Structure 1
Amino acid sequence: MNMQANAFGYPGKIWALFESAPRAGRFDVGTAGVVAGRAGTPAARSVLSIELQFRDGRVADARFRAYGCPSSIAVGAWIADWSIGREPAELAQLGAAQLRRELEIPEDRAHCALMGEDALRDLLARYRETV
């Protein structure tokens, strides 16, 4: 981890995901089995989009796009990676409290975890419409 670049002192887990942003991007339009969810926080002007590709009732691949602080980006990256191999029922169990614990998100950035939960809930609602 490059601590010199982390001038604002984000927790290490957040900074590492922010710097590497695994699974950042989106699927090509028309990719089979892809469902997307989105959420935002107007006060912070952040937006998080999550795209999950389902195959045989499980997440086969995942992508995310985020506009916001390093915590917002880390939440998207963590959810995308964590989702791989999981069923919708497992995804529905993930909430802001777990995201805060896993990423050591401080109180002043709790809205980022809530945004992650909301994006996943939006995605699952859309998934239910497809099955």
Structure 2
Amino acid sequence: MSISDIYSSGKHKQELGHFASIVKIAQSDGIIATEELNLLQRAARKLHINEEEYESILKNPNKYPVNPPVNYDERIERLYRLTQMIFADNSVDPAQVVLLRKIAVALQFPLDNVEKVCDESLHLVMNNNDLDDYIIAIKKVNLE
């Protein structure tokens, strides 16, 4: 097995864990709305999740650990994608926000700053900030 195969499988495990986190947020209010389902399907394609993995994760997202990326910008991007899922159905459920904070801790955002980071994340996504502006803003909030 080559080093690229090892990296590839590790990267795919991260993608599976990230997709499972997105599914958890979509399911946190008890239903997956059509808008959320559309976002899940786009996320699955982007993360190279095949149909079998997709169905397995939808059935049991808790089976897949978060596996945060080492790269800080990638962790911020994961938070961005998770926050987008919260707004996919045009409503914010408090359970989704609580879950977002838990996943942010799993993504290695500092426990003492996770509430501030998630509140800023919600604000930025609600105001349609692009990923580049989002990353800059989250880095500022996370350093305060």
Decide: shared fold, TM above 0.5.
Answer: no
Larger relative strand fraction: 1
Larger relative helix fraction: 2
Instruction: Name the TM-score, length of structure 1 as normaliser.
Output: 0.35
